[in-house]
Chains A and B, each alone.
Chain A
Amino acid sequence: MSTDERFRSLFDPAGVIVAGVSNHPAKFGFVTLHNILASGYEGRVFATNRDGGTVLGIDALTSVRDVPHGAADLVFVCTPASANPDLLRDCAAIGVRAAFLTSAGYGEAGEEGKRMEDELVALADELGILLCGPNGQGVVSTPSKLCAQIVAPYPPEGRIGIASQSGNFVSSFQNFAVQSGVGVSRAVSAGNAAATGVPDYLEFYADDPATAVGLAYVEGIRDGRAFFDRVRSIAERKPLVLLKGGSSAYGQRAAASHTGALAADDTVFTGMCRQAGVTRAATVEEAFEAAATFATQPLPRGNRVVVMTTAGGWGVVTADALANTSLELVALPDDLRAEIDQRLPPRWSRNNPVDLAAGETRDTIPELLDVITAHPDVDAVIYLGLGIQSNQARLMRQGRFYPDEGLERIVAYHERQDARFAEAAAAASATYDKPVLTATELAVAIPDNPGPVAVRASGKLCYASSNRAVTALDHLWRYAQWRRRRGLD
């Protein structure tokens, strides 16, 4: 059986067995079964444990052998390490092709555990079973509504494929997905990565139609050369965002060479990423936002950015942020300036950033987003100022005068307008196939503001600050450039 088919069994199984279920709601076996059942998985679900009984309405079988042959192709293993070799043999006998082991007591537990882990790898190989973990948190796959993991959350559906050497980062990335609304296709924690490592999952994502971008946390890479070859081949097919831990742990030869002395910290890793076309992020939120941007915005065809803002200070700060990137705050083309002149009173900035200086009327913002994005000398747009009026509307709605004094009408108007503006940004992006990013701190400060709500509804990320939008867009342009320079587009 091909590796790809076994990954299919991991991510899109026809049926799942949870081995080692428990009636105790704090045990992994219970939590996993709960999460599978609660998240809407539509395949068949089986549970086993030594003593039988009923857990969460499922009659537990005392042996995996009692599962009809071919009814389940994924087993989620919560049993102790000592029980697992026999379990795997039974699973193979009834047609299971992939096993995710959350069981601990393996390589992480010392010499004896390492020996058992090696034996398990050999056994799984012999049985033709894809072995994931052990000591991992689980696997999520939204196309199959599968949440086979020992922790929350179950993220919204989307196109980010997550793989992590640390289970906690799978949770972190998924929590960002819940918060931002930009969802996940697949997510897996590699645990001890005894047989299947982060690059193996990323390799599957690279050819997975449900996934638009890979997002991974790695540390302690075993074979740097092999890793480089893998990630470069992946980046040729799809964007890949890496967050790396332990960036200062490099052994360094006390060399006679100056070059060696300068190879400190993780400069070599950074260079490797640039060479491989991998997007390296410095922080967990930067990593998620880069991936979310790859998943929801087209790649820019150039680096010329227009910043459109309803108020001056934001534009200035955004211009500063752009100065430290590969992006260009493009000088406003004359014909575009003339177009904007027709729609605003003369006090607007008349350059880039396009500061409306509160000169807009009902249709100005949607129209400007369209004409600016349409212009051939503009490759991307950052839009600032969404949600201000709705924030005022919120205060009015909460105040004691509402709905009198005309407040009901104006509140509804503002809320409708901000939703419109967000929709216009998404429409301009779709029409002209260019990135249009919307940034406002209201995305996190007042997440139910109709502006950010409409951004999320449009499937896009609403950036919590313009700096973060700039950083994400910079990552997109660098990747686009990497592709173009190598003739990949």
Chain B
Amino acid sequence: MPTLSEAESKRVLAAAGVPMLDERVVQSATDAGAAADAIGYPVVAKLCGDAIAHKTERGLVRLRLGDRAAVEAAAADLLAAARPDDGEVGVLVAPMVAGNRELIAGLHDDPQFGMTIMLGVGGILAEAIKDVTFRLVPIERVDAEEMIDDLATQALLGPFRGEAAVDRDQLAAVLLGLSSAAQADPSIVSADLNPLIVTAGGTPIAVDALVERAASS
């Protein structure tokens, strides 16, 4: 089933109400520099395209770029790293988001219950810890709030190692946005917001997104 590029995935989800950062997709190193100037430093740059699903494994993500020269150099590298089978590509420039806590959220088409929404503890141990909770699409605000309460690792959601408590309203908005996205577009078969980094200020931010659609007939 076709996956959308990170930029397109984010656009689809943002249109449904999932809060997203100010991000730009550009085609040249110069434009990348201009985008970074507009966004403010530091930024991240990633090579982005419909056929690219595993950016980290291929070294296509550059973090903590602190000035225009660094951005332009990174963008030039990334564009040069594109392979013919990557298809149409661009460089996604986004604010650098930092935080010690990672969550994951997404949509999953369950064979028994149909489209569901998931929220869980993210990071590299996510599949080992399995602190996750599901609801059936559509959800209401109260369901979103109860999903947040469902997570066993509540300590992660409160004030944590000098960082603020997770902004529950913002996290609920992410879940409600996912629900709206699934309702608005029945061709979506799955979505991942992974990771949802919780900033020091407590805001959960989707730094990566992957939407999968059913093959069009």
Contacts and interface: CB of A to CB of B under 8 A. Distances in A.
Interface string A256-277: 1111111110011111101100
Nearest to B130: A262
Contacts of B112: 221, 224, 250, 268-269
A225 B212 CA distance: 22
Given A257-B106, A257-B210, A259-B108, A268 B116 contact: yes
B194 interface: yes
A251 interface: yes
B162 interface: no
Among A257, A262, A267, the most chain B Cβ lie within 10 Å of the Cβ of A262
A251 B111 contact: yes
Contacts of B147: 271
Interface stretch (B15-23, B58-66, B91-99, B135-143): B135-143
A226 B118 CA distance: 20
Given A228-B136, A262-B118, A275-B143, A256 B190 contact: yes
B116 A263 contact: yes
How many B residues are at the interface, by size bracket? Answer: 35 or more
Given A271-B116, A271-B135, A275-B143, A258 B192 contact: yes
Interface residues of A, number: 28
B88 interface: no
A377 to B, nearest CB: 23
A253 B108 CA distance: 10
B171 to A, nearest CB: 16
Contact of B110 (A257, A258, A268, A270): A268
Q: What is the interface of chain A mostly: helix, strand, loop, or mixed?
A: helix
B191 A259 contact: yes
B108 A257 contact: yes
A270 B106 contact: no
Interface string A182-220: 000000000000000000000000000000000000000
A421 B104 CA distance: 51
A84 to B, nearest CB: 32
A259 B113 contact: no
Contact of B192 (A224, A251, A257, A274): A257
B79 interface: no
Contacts of B190: 255-257, 259-260
Contacts of B135: 271-272, 274-275
Nearest to B105: A259
A257 B127 contact: no
B3 interface: yes
B108 A263 contact: yes
Interface string A225-248: 100100000000000000000000
Interface in B143-202: 143, 146-147, 150, 190-192, 194
B203 interface: no
B76 interface: no
Contacts of B111: 250-253
A486 interface: yes
A183 B147 CA distance: 35
A258 B132 CA distance: 11
A255 B108 CA distance: 9
A255 B127 CA distance: 14
Interface in B97-131: 104-114, 116, 118, 120, 126-127, 130
A259 B133 contact: no
A485 interface: yes
A222 B130 CA distance: 26
B39 interface: no
A224 B114 contact: yes
Given A228-B136, A263-B116, 19 more contacts: A224-B114, A225-B113, A251-B111, A252-B111, A255-B212, A257-B106, A257-B192, A259-B191, A260-B108, A267-B134, A268-B116, A271-B134, A271-B136, A272-B113, A272-B134, A272-B136, A275-B135, A275-B136, A275-B139
Interface of B: 3, 53, 104-114, 116, 118, 120, 126-127, 130, 132-136, 139, 142-143, 146-147, 150, 190-192, 194, 210, 212
17 contacts: A224-B112, A224-B113, A228-B113, A255-B108, A256-B190, A256-B212, A257-B106, A257-B192, A259-B105, A263-B132, A268-B134, A269-B113, A271-B136, A272-B134, A272-B135, A275-B136, A275-B146
| 8 tightest A-B CB contacts, nearest first | A259-B106, A271-B134, A224-B113, A224-B112, A257-B190, A259-B108, A268-B134, A251-B111
